[in-house]
Every structure is written in C-alpha cells, then in structure tokens.
Amino acid sequence: MPDTKSRTRIQRQNREAILEAALEVFSAQGFRGATLDQIAAAAGLSKPNVLYYFASKEAIHHALLSGLLDNWLAPLRALDPAGEPLAEILGYVRRKVEISRDFPRESRLFANEILQGAPRMMAAIEGELKALVDEKAAVIRNWSAQGRIAAVDPYHLIFSIWALTQHYADFDVQVRAVLGPGHDPFAEAGSFIETLFTKLLAPAA
C-alpha cells in the first residue's frame, strides 16, 4: 500500500478516481450501504486494484471525510470580525448556499455521518468544529451587544444557517418533487434565505 509522499502519476490518477467514485457511492448509500464492488466499478478498476491503493473500505471513507472538513469549515472561517456585521453574515450564508449547490454529494456524505451519530467524526466535531463555532459565535455576540445587529443567540443563528442551506442539498429529491419542474431550487433558496436573515438581523429601531 504505497501511501508515502512520493506518488507516481498513475497513483495520483487512480487515487483520485477512487475517491471520486467513493464520494458518489458513499453519499448515495451511506457507509454500510456502499460496497467495494460498486466503488471499483464506478472508478473503472478491479476490486483488488482498489485495495492496492487504499488499505480498506474504511480507509477510503476516512480519506474522504478528512479531506472534507477543511472545505466545510472554510466559509465560516472567512467570516471577518472586522467587517460589516450584516454583510459578513449574509456573505457566509451565500457561500454556504453555493457549497450546497456545487457540492451536494459532500453535503450528503456529511449528513450521513452525523445522522448515524458521527461515529468517525466526533473528535473533529468536538475539536476543530466546536472551536471555530465558539470563536465566531463570540464575534456575532459582540456585534449584537454593540447593537449593530439584532440580539440573537449566535449558536442557533449558525445552526439555522447550516440547517437551511444543507437542507437543499440533503433533501434535494424531496424539494424537487414538491416544487415540480421548472424551478431552480438553489437560486430561489438563496434569495429566500437572504431575505430571512436580513429581517432577522435588522437592529431594533
């Protein structure tokens, strides 16, 4: 199992193909629902060959999840304490909507993991994720205290942004089934959610 830093061209290509295929399969079927044969077929490789690049099914899943966390936290990390409060929060919202639109499989992979009790991500959630949220919640609380935005619980503000944006990726089939054809769920959601938070955060008169 060659996983030192020295990767040949073929190694890089095949590892990439496997991760892409695994994302497709894991996000649609969950960890236990996915099979190595499905992943191998989707990657255009034989099963033993897949296991030549990754030690186990677990290892593939783990590689996906660790690669995911940074991208997942980036939008919140970019929230600037020195910026204009409402613009910063709406910017965060917009970035999250875009991520849901452009990376729905990643969102579903994450949702699957949390739904099952986050067995393989608890550490990251209690560590990195919580630390970042704590930090940004303090920033938002400060903005509220200064009267620059309405007084809201910053944690639940963040949760509500997660809930609203991820919903459109995770429950995509339901949203589309209910809306019927001729809709662009993410575009509509974007402006709806923006309105929602604009009204919520308007400072008291």
Q: Which residues in this chain contact a copy of itself in the complex, by CB under 8 A? A: 28-33, 108, 111-112, 114-118, 122, 125-126, 129-130, 133, 152-153, 155-157, 159-160, 162-164, 166-168, 170-171, 173-175, 177-180, 188-189, 192-193, 195-196, 199-200, 202
Nearest residue to 29 (alpha-carbon basis) of 3, 61, 51, 76 = 61
Query: Secondary structure of 176-192 in the HEC alphabet?
Result: HHHHCCCCCHHHHHHHH
Residue closer to a copy of itself, measured from CB, 142 or 174: 174
The rounded distance, in Å, linking the Cα atoms of 201 and 179 is 28
The rounded distance, in Å, linking the Cα atoms of 74 and 77 is 5
As measured in angstroms, the least distance from the Cβ of 89 to a copy of itself is 13
As measured in angstroms, the least distance from the Cβ of 111 to DNA is 20
Q: What residue 69 binds from DNA, a copy of itself, none (CB within 5 to 8 A, per partner kind)?
A: none
Nearest residue to 155 (alpha-carbon basis) of 165, 166, 168, 141 = 141
Q: What residue 82 binds from DNA, a copy of itself, none (CB within 5 to 8 A, per partner kind)?
A: none
The rounded distance, in Å, linking the Cα atoms of 140 and 85 is 8
Q: What residue 11 binds from a copy of itself, DNA, none (CB within 5 to 8 A, per partner kind)?
A: DNA
Nearest residue to 143 (alpha-carbon basis) of 194, 89, 187, 96 = 89
Residue closer to a copy of itself, measured from CB, 51 or 189: 189
As measured in angstroms, the least distance from the Cβ of 73 to a copy of itself is 12
Question: Do the Cβ atoms of 40 and 49 come closer than 8 Å?
Answer: yes
As measured in angstroms, the least distance from the Cβ of 18 to DNA is 10
Q: How many CA atoms lie within 13 A of 111 on its CB side?
A: 20
Residue closer to a copy of itself, measured from CB, 13 or 66: 66
Residue closer to a copy of itself, measured from CB, 11 or 160: 160
Question: Do the Cβ atoms of 168 and 102 come closer than 8 Å?
Answer: no
As measured in angstroms, the least distance from the Cβ of 61 to a copy of itself is 13
| Residues forming the site for DNA (CB under 7 A) | 2, 8, 10-11, 14, 34-37, 45-49, 51-52, 55-58
The sign one gets for the Cα dihedral 37, 43, 48, 53 is negative
Residue closer to DNA, measured from CB, 117 or 181: 117
